[in-house]
Structure 1
Amino acid sequence: MASQPVRTVMIGCGGMARYHLRQMYELRSSTQVVAVCEPSQSAYDATAALFEQAGVAPPPNQPDLEKLLAEYRGKLDAAFIITPHAYHHNQAKACMEAGLDVLLEKPMVMNADEAHSLIETRDRTGRLLVVAFPGSLSPNVRTAVALLRSGAFGRLLTISGVVWQNWGPMTVGTWRQQPELSGGGFLFDTGAHLLNTVVDLAGEEVTEVAAYLDDRGRPVETLGAVIARLRSGALITLHACGEAIPSCHSDVRIFCERAIVYTGVWGERLEVQYNGDKPPAPIPVPESRGVWEQFLAVRAGKQENPCPPEVGLRMA
């Protein structure tokens, strides 16, 4: 007998939410978007248009989350939260306390105190909380982590990670450059993927770290260069450029004694090179339709949660 679709509320209907909704539509047999929570009429209209283009009636919008959780009590299973960073803690806490499992956009929270609070709420309510880091949730990064831990490539020597985007010019006038809402600049926003994925791959504590940040005259930092040493002695370099040409790309290289592993901060590829005279070869992994599909798999007990709130605490 087919399982019932997961009854879901989308909290936030901005550009990233619409990106996720396009992927979620491919999983419509297992997902039902029952309602949305969006205070901006224009954002809701753009989201409603996606449903109409697909020949589906748009879900109703209740802009007040407290009212929505009361009105839909017993009619929802899960929430996907895609809102400015400053709202994540209170919204995720309210949803878990209302009995919902939560997929929460990155970065999970603004600081460590909020991270500890969500961990306590998760433990107290028994609800599932998954942080929507595509890297941690991607089969590519999870496979790379497993291979690195197995010793298949020999001892880890260094990791080099780069992420770049025209983030500074593109986010002028938006909440992403308002520190009270964003919590930081490029290294805390897009660069959060770089930090999280590299630490996932490293799999051990950082014992020394130094960094240079530059705001280029903006309210938040847009350039960052980081060097670090792991407990084992392996070295890390991170380079985040948010003032790049129109683009959004990444490159992560893990140098081991017997191989070089290539991936990206979103888990967009996985390759290995054993001999410098031969190009890197793809490592086959299962396909993924994105973070919502992985959330559903965790919720159904098909896999362990690769991105629990402890990852959000680590990031904070």
Structure 2
Amino acid sequence: MGCVIWTGEELLDIQTFYLNATQRLLYIKMSPDFSSGGEKRDRTGKILGWSIGATVTLLLTVILFCFWKRRQKQAKADAATPIVSQVGLICEMVLPTKKRNLSGEDQIEELELPLMEFEAVVTATDQFSDSNKVGKGGFGVVYKGRLVDGKEIAVKRLSEMSTQGTNEFMTEVRLVAKLQHINLVKLLGCCVYNGEKILIYEYLENGSLDCHLFDKTRSCLLNWQTRFDIINGIARGLLYLHQDSRFRIIHRDLKASNVLLDKDMTPKISDFGMARIFGRDETEANTRKVVGT
């Protein structure tokens, strides 16, 4: 048995062994101070590994989040595609188209139906506040609005829950935009934004005819001459739709609530969501379901 001691950083033999010392077993006891360097290296390696792993995980998370957001935007765009694809006619009426005249200069055609910005509609209706709500139907809510120039408008916001909302929007834009008659409500513009489908009409001060007919106070104000003038106006509007307009149009939902009155009590037919175009040579047609009034 013997004891051999090394000190310092280098292992220097300070004791001489006998020749047969190589046949002996050697037990080594390391000082804690001597082994701390290896532990520090191991700890540094672990910290470095954790840092690299966290960085890679963070990068993958960011990439996956960006990919998910992109898919969400694509899904919204795909959802809006059916509306846009059906509106070859809307694009012709709403979006400005360029034409080149004989002099070679580009000109912008005057829009028949302006496309209004969604922010402008929100501002005009005071964030679609209930205080500006003037009517409600099966396809959405109608709000009173005021543009920046002071002009009053009626904003029809089609409900997203309605299965017929898109069809109504398409029909009204297709028909009313090009119909001009004193006894038809005037469509001023439309707005399509992120699932929202909005129609902007002229605002009629006296509301709908049913509010006058079925209200005891207001009905007293409708003398026979006023009633006769309203009936005449509705008849003239229907005659225009059936015979004098460029399209033969059957309203299919004519009722007191769909007749609006301006400040002079002039009647104007509104709500063409269920209307149908007939050919000039058509006298009848079949529908797949019962609709309208």
TM-score band by shorter chain is: under 0.3
- TM-score, normalised to structure 2, is 0.23
Compare CA radii of gyration and give the structure with the larger one.
2
| More contact order relative to length (CA 8 Å, sep ≥ 6) | 1
- TM-score, normalised to structure 1, is 0.21
Comparing both structures, which one devotes a greater share of its residues to helix? 2
